A and B are shown apart, each in its own frame.
Chain A
């Protein structure tokens, strides 16, 4: 039997302030849980990357008319399933951007631990050469820290907007 306990969930527009609040709340919640400190740190670090990824992704699209306010909202759900932490996020994405993201995720999922380390190190040195480049470090970091493949799905809302679901099971 699968047992799932929701620790924290949120649905709404992601702002910098909200991001900060969610992180503070999650940290306080985890302090009351009997988890090894390293597990708590790993969950928190992954959550930081997830939320900041969503926030920066939204930041890429501020002026696009198709990307209306209601599409700037996201869902985040953190739970424990059979003793493992699971972070699920969902956010809107412009359809033309899906292919690129899917390719990146598949690339990350095709790599083992050593491959991920190499990809991370290469991206990090490239990122420093051109600080504005989004080297996709966040996703690689999430995959490395979780110890699992990135489970994702893209849903179609209409011809222009899709919905990106990401499930991260943390070892």
Chain B
């Protein structure tokens, strides 16, 4: 059974999600500050678990946050860890942050330190 693409529209407190299993292109973008991040991220985590069983040759994850709460960070960590289990294929994470947004840059550096995946921190003007 092939996995269908996942698209979730953004809300005031949750990000936009676009996961394309064929192209191996993932995007999470916007605000992630729900009080219960598990509720939002668990379906994403389940999807990524299924994806990781039959991933594309190359997977690229673009992440851009305007706000990120600690509850979401925990779920993201879980999600990255699952991507980290993919072996023999390329997986990389691009952590985008707005110019001058030191908090989001720092959040990226935290993940970069504790995650075992190619991780690029990229300053950007246009999202």
Residues of A within 8 A of B (CB): 16, 19-20, 23-24, 37-38, 41-42, 44-45, 48-49, 51-52, 55-56, 117, 120-121, 124-125, 127-128, 131, 135, 137-138, 141, 144-145
B77 touches A128 (CB 8 A): yes
B81 touches A49 (CB 8 A): no
Contacts of A49 on B, CB cut-off 8 Å? 69-70
Given the known interface contacts A19-B35, A128-B77, the answer about A138 and B70 at a Cβ–Cβ threshold of 8 Å is: yes
A131 touches B69 (CB 8 A): no
Q: In the complex, which residue of chain A has the Cβ closest to the Cβ of B33?
A: A48
A127 touches B74 (CB 8 A): yes
Q: In the complex, which residue of chain B has the Cβ closest to the Cβ of A136?
A: B70
A-B contacts counted at CB < 8 A amount to 62
Contacts of A141 on B, CB cut-off 8 Å? 70
Cα A56 to Cα B13 in complex, Å, equals 17
A127 touches B77 (CB 8 A): yes
Chain B 1-48 residues near chain A, CB threshold 8 A: 12-13, 33, 35, 38
Is the C-beta of B53 less than 8 angstroms from some C-beta in chain A?
A: no
CB-contact partner of A41 in B12, B69, B101, under 8 A: B101
Is the C-beta of B127 less than 8 angstroms from some C-beta in chain A?
A: no
Helix, strand, loop or mixed for chain B's interface? Answer: helix
Q: In the complex, which residue of chain B has the Cβ closest to the Cβ of A141?
A: B70
Q: Mark B57-85, 1 if CB is under 8 A from A, else 0.
A: 00000000001011101110110010000
Given contacts A52-B69, A131-B75, A145-B103, 14 further A-B pairs with CB under 8 A are A16-B35, A20-B12, A38-B102, A38-B103, A48-B33, A49-B70, A55-B35, A56-B35, A117-B110, A121-B113, A127-B77, A128-B78, A135-B74, A137-B73
Contacts of B106 on A, CB cut-off 8 Å? 144
CB-contact partner of B74 in A19, A38, A137, under 8 A: A137
Contacts of A135 on B, CB cut-off 8 Å? 74
Given the known interface contacts A49-B69, A125-B77, A137-B73, the answer about A131 and B38 at a Cβ–Cβ threshold of 8 Å is: yes
Q: In the complex, which residue of chain A has the Cβ closest to the Cβ of B115?
A: A125
Cα A55 to Cα B69 in complex, Å, equals 14
Cα A127 to Cα B38 in complex, Å, equals 12
